[in-house]
Amino acid sequence: MPATAKKPRWRLVMRRSLALPGLVLAAGVAAMVPPLPGAVDGQSVDGGLAEARPAEDAIVTPVSLDGLPEAVSRLLQQLPDENARRLRRHATLWQGWTPAMRAAFAERASEWDALPAAQRAARRETWQALQALPQAQREQVVGMAREFAHKPQVEQDALRQRFAGLEPGARRGWLLGPVLGADYPTLHPLLAQLPAGQHAPLMAVLQSMTAAQRVQLGVLVQRTPPQDRDALRLELIATPPERRQHWLWEQLDR
């Protein structure tokens, strides 16, 4: 198919951007967005970036919340179970910290509160994007962030400048992670104005596809008129995994 001949060029440009997915998502890792979750002295507070994340249904032994502000203690009683478990994990970690670690955390919290609202929102979005990635990719991004942090300042600045030189849409595309971020230029029309109810199933489908299948899908998306992309997206989501490759071939042969 002639359209696939363009693949090496744009993909090479994106790959030459080196740590671009790490740059955009590492910003959330380094800044640790809202102080809970966060990090103190290099220790992960959320228990799940470089190390294995605790299971969402794991039993968390209740701890005393005397060390937390009264407002937080009251909030704990009103939260859904999942959020309450997360807060209890944070409380457990808090109680295990030394005074110096707590002071460092309080300083970071103050720095967070002092940021402009728009900057806090951007960092929060980055953090949420990181949490939405499959665990293997999340760990990959965290590794990229660590690698980036150890680069000389001159090299960091050069990478940041290269990333800033990308089009805004391409920069946002890396929020999808190191796998889908590379395919974002061709898949963007399929993701634009995505209904909330279709976001999770579409991301699951795209993550499960091979790189070659996503390239084929990108060609198909570019061929599809804007008014027909909603139907294409719904059909893609509804196609069973074992039928997906045949479905792509059928669509491309039309």
Q: Is 154 exposed, middle or buried (0-12, 13-18, 19+ CB in 10 A)?
A: exposed
pLDDT in tens, 168-178: 888 888 888 88
Could you tell me if 3 and 91 lie in one domain?
no
Q: What average pLDDT does the segment 39-56 reach?
A: 39
What's the number of CA atoms in the CB half-sphere (13 Å) around residue 139? 8
Confidence check: pLDDT of 241 > 90: yes
Q: What is the pLDDT of residue 169?
A: 81
Q: How many domains does the chain have?
A: 2
Could you tell me if 224 and 238 lie in one domain?
yes
Return d(Cα 181, Cα 17) in angstroms, integer.
12
Return d(Cα 123, Cα 58) in angstroms, integer.
28
Could you tell me if 42 and 104 lie in one domain?
yes
Q: Which residues pair with 43 in a beta bridge?
A: 40
Could you tell me if 186 and 143 lie in one domain?
no
Q: Which residues pair with 40 in a beta bridge?
A: 43
What would the two tokens of residue 193 be? 């104005």
Return d(Cα 167, Cα 247) in angstroms, integer.
32
* C-beta of residue 187 within 8 angstroms of C-beta of residue 206: yes
State the chain's mean pLDDT as an integer.
Answer: 76
pLDDT in tens, 123-140: 888 888 888 889 998 888
pLDDT in tens, 86-127: 877 877 888 888 999 888 888 888 988 899 999 888 888 888
Q: Which of 165, 190, 217 is the last residue of a domain?
A: 165
The amino acid sitting at 147 is E
- Least Cα distance to 33 among 110, 107, 122, 95 occurs for 122
Q: What is the pLDDT of residue 250?
A: 94
Containing structural domain, residue 189: 1-17+167-254
Could you tell me if 147 and 25 lie in one domain?
yes
> Which string of b and e fits 214-226 if b means at least 16 CB within 10 Å?
bbbbbbbbeebee
**φ, ψ for residue 45 (rounded to 5)?**
-85, -25
**φ, ψ for residue 244 (rounded to 5)?**
-65, -45
Q: Percent of the chain having pLDDT more than 90?
A: 26
Confidence check: pLDDT of 6 > 50: no
Return d(Cα 39, Cα 105) in angstroms, integer.
7
* C-beta of residue 183 within 8 angstroms of C-beta of residue 218: yes
Q: Which of 146, 165, 184 is the last residue of a domain?
A: 165
Q: What average pLDDT does the segment 205-221 reach?
A: 94
Could you tell me if 227 and 121 lie in one domain?
no
* C-beta of residue 201 within 8 angstroms of C-beta of residue 228: no
* C-beta of residue 139 within 8 angstroms of C-beta of residue 150: no
Which H or E run includes 138? helix 135-149
